[in-house]
Amino acid sequence: MPDKIEIGNILVERGEFKKGSIKGIELANGVSIDIPLMVINGVEDGPTLLLMSTQHGIEIQGIEVIHKIIREKLSFKHLRGAVIGIPVGNPLAFMHQQYLSWTDNLDVGRVNATLPNGNATEKLAYALWTEAWSIADLIINIHCNTRPDSLIYQAINVSNPKTKEKLKKMAEVFGVTTIFSSDPIQENALPTLNNLAAQKGTPVILEELIDGRWISEPSTSVGVKGVLNIMKAFNMIDGNIEPQIGIPIVPGVNRFHGMAHANHGGLIRFLKKPGEPIKKGEVYAEVYNLYGDTVEQIEMPVDGYIWAYPCAKSLGTSGGLQVVQTGSNVAYVFTHEG
């Protein structure tokens, strides 16, 4: 870590805490939509950790986690390295309370992040990459499912030998249900934030808290504890790793099986809880029409679990309402490897 961190419109020396922003885009009326930033630089040398929340504009729990970590839990006297907090990774989505950018309906994490003259969301991705992601040694990208009864989980891709061991360590100490992916990143893959970080050898862990539209427990406590555990494991702060307690956890190696969809329209009721083991063929959800007749029983495609019920879609947003139509998202299904 260099002595000074230059990022956005701030210069943060050792032993300083500063707030600022990364230049984003300008609206037609000249209003600048920038990316908010808070940085704490410890007095001693160590890694640079980036905490980013709200890549998706309605997933706000990580904002609270970042505030608690940077404003309450850390002091630069006892910090080795630096923490960069980006409470809202996509301000174009957040400003209209939408999942994606209101200007072009794009996801700042899924567009090309190498285009200084791209469209609005590409420009934000470029700003995030050049200013923040590219100078970090470790990245925690905090998302949330919308329902409060979802399973808190994290996802890591262990296909990259440059980041595999660090990611496994981050996941182990953060301490929630872990979904592993081993799919290698293709040579011709779009240079998104994640893919650029992987190429550079920077580990990025995705944390998925719950009840994403409200600041609530257990998301805040689990998020804060998990981030502090990662900082302890990478010697940025002192202290023992504290296990996550009081939440359902499916331990070991789990893998995403796929998104289940509805084949009929109506309201939907759920018969199994996220995190509960479900056998292949068991009915876990029912669609019923506006007369109350059951029109579809949705069976588990595999022995496994569900981490969340995203339900309907409105404005590109999962989890708007407890209704479905043909093709609607119903459940994230995952399997467990013994």
Residues that bind Zn ion (CB under 5 A): 56, 59, 143
Helix (H, G, I), strand (E, B), or coil: what is residue 321? coil
The dihedrals phi and psi of 117, each to the nearest 5 degrees, come to -120, 35
Rounded to a whole number of angstroms, the minimum distance from the CB of residue 134 to Zn ion is: 22
Closest approach, Cβ 127 to Zn ion, in A, equals: 19
Distance of alpha carbon 331 from alpha carbon 94, whole angstroms: 25
- How is residue 45 written in tokens? 């040398």
Residue among 20, 63, 52, 62 at smallest CA distance from 39: 20
Of residues 12 and 209, the one with the C-beta less far from Zn ion = 209
Rounded to a whole number of angstroms, the minimum distance from the CB of residue 182 to Zn ion is 22
Nearer Cβ to Zn ion (39/56): 56
Task: Report in angstroms how near the CB of residue 3 gets to Zn ion at its nearest.
Answer: 35
Three-class DSSP category at 246? coil
Q: Which is nearer to Zn ion, 143 or 257 (CB)?
A: 143
Number of H helices, E strands in the chain: 6, 19
Distance CA 257, CA 27 (A): 41
Nearest distance, CB of residue 51 and Zn ion, angstroms: 15
What are 104's two structure tokens? 């072009």
Closest residue to Zn ion in the complex (CB): 143
| Complex with Zn ion: residue 59 or 137, whichever CB lies closer | 59
Q: Which is nearer to Zn ion, 56 or 257 (CB)?
A: 56
Q: What is the DSSP letter of 56?
A: S
